[in-house]
Amino acid sequence: MIQEIIVVEGKNDTIAIRRAVEADTIETGGSAVNREVLERIKLAQRRRGVIILTDPDHAGERIRHLVSSKVPGCKHAFLAQEEATYRDDIGIENASPESIRAALAEVRTESEIQATDLTWADLMRARLAGVDGAAERRMRVGKSLSIGYANGKTFLKRCRMFGIGKQELADALRRSGLDGTEDGGGR
């Protein structure tokens, strides 16, 4: 059984989690997370710890940010969109048990100090922001880092939140088959 309580969006997400692992969940009931749900998440964080696993879409990211900002020290698990999509529907409920287990095995903890040497200029040099194809590159690197897909600003924020520095980013670029330079040469 997973010790932490997993925060998900709805009942179908809970069903998918329970097909994959033995765990307790708290359902936010969608993007309008009310005060009562936040209080339960705060209690869960104090007693057992919390893992946030929301849908890899805009609404899921909004919920993740809201919960994380109100409940410090949360752990985060991410699924890639392609792992959580069935037809045109994106959601944890569409993910295979294997994908859910893999995401939970790669949980990231928020760095309290948030010390990192990574800058916006580094993302630009790695072609992860400000150029054609940056979104696809961020998707691949985000999967390699187990931080999920995000727009450029949020990607940098996540790297800082999880203490990902220049070297870890360079390693992820290599694992993703991307070298991060403008000319295609070494880093």
The domains of the chain are located at: 1-110, 114-187
Res 181: pLDDT: 47
Distance CA 66, CA 74 (A): 11
Instruction: Tell me if 85 sits within 8 A of 110, measured CB to CB.
Output: no
Assign a CATH topology to domain 1-110. Dna Topoisomerase Vi A Subunit; Chain: A, domain 2 (3.40.1360)
The model's pLDDT over 157-172, given as tens digits with 9 standing for 90+, comes to 889 888 899 999 999 9
pTM here is 0.79
**DSSP-based three-state secondary structure for 109:** strand
Distance CA 98, CA 117 (A): 34
Amino acid at 153: K
How many other C-beta atoms are found inside a 10 Å radius of the C-beta of residue 4? Answer: 20
Distance CA 145, CA 59 (A): 22
Measure the CA dihedral 156/158/161/166, to 10°. Answer: -50
Res 161: pLDDT: 83
The residue ranges of the chain whose pLDDT is under 70 are: 111-115, 180-187
